[in-house]
Amino acid sequence: MLRFIFMINIYQDNMETKIKKTEKKWREELSEEQFQVLRKKGTERPFSGEYWNNKKKGTYVCAGCGNPLFDSETKFKSGTGWPSFYKPINDENVETEEDKSLRMKRTEVLCSKCKGHLGHVFNDGPKPTGLRYCINSISLDFKD
């Protein structure tokens, strides 16, 4: 009996923390540009987005689901034209996956809540992590 209740709890937990929507629903909710990046793993043109040069203090959240992703404290000037961070807000909200498209081996960065594509992470970032989370502005909303 206890084990059964435990399993129900896990199930409910997943229902609350993960977001699953049909492609049609995402198309309705997102702009065309947001849909192409978040749901189709596209990349915005560098220096075209809203946040690459944003220096305000605050939190960057997922444009698809509002999940907090990056803190402005970890943002740094990368010169790439995409907002860049040396670490995510925590280990739970952001996840990574191997990406072998474009004949390159890269590590994709995703929102763990809605699985929206955010960008890629590289090993040429600054201290203290040495990581560079290269994120599309259009995948983010900013809360100050």
Binding site for Fe ion (CB under 5 A): 62, 64-65, 67, 111, 113-114, 116
134 tagged catalytic: yes
DSSP at 33 = H
Q: Which of 62, 111, 114, 134 is catalytic?
A: 134
67 vs 84, beta carbon nearer Fe ion: 67
The first and second tokens of residue 14, run together, are 């997943």
For Fe ion, the closer of residues 64 and 125 by Cβ is 64
Output 118 or 131, the one with its CB closest to Fe ion: 118
- Residue 68: CB minimum distance to Fe ion, A: 10
* Closest separation in Å from C-beta 17 to Fe ion: 11
Name, in order, each residue with C-beta under 8 angstroms of 49's C-beta and a sequence gap of 6 or more. Answer: 81, 82, 83, 136, 137, 138
Task: Report the C-alpha gap between 79 and 6 in whole angstroms.
Answer: 49
Element (H, E) at 76: strand 75-76
Cβ–Cβ < 8 Å for 109, 96: yes
- Cα 123 from Cα 131, distance rounded (Å): 5
> In the bound complex, what is the minimum distance in angstroms from residue 140's beta carbon to Fe ion?
10
Q: Tell me which residues are annotated as active site.
A: 134
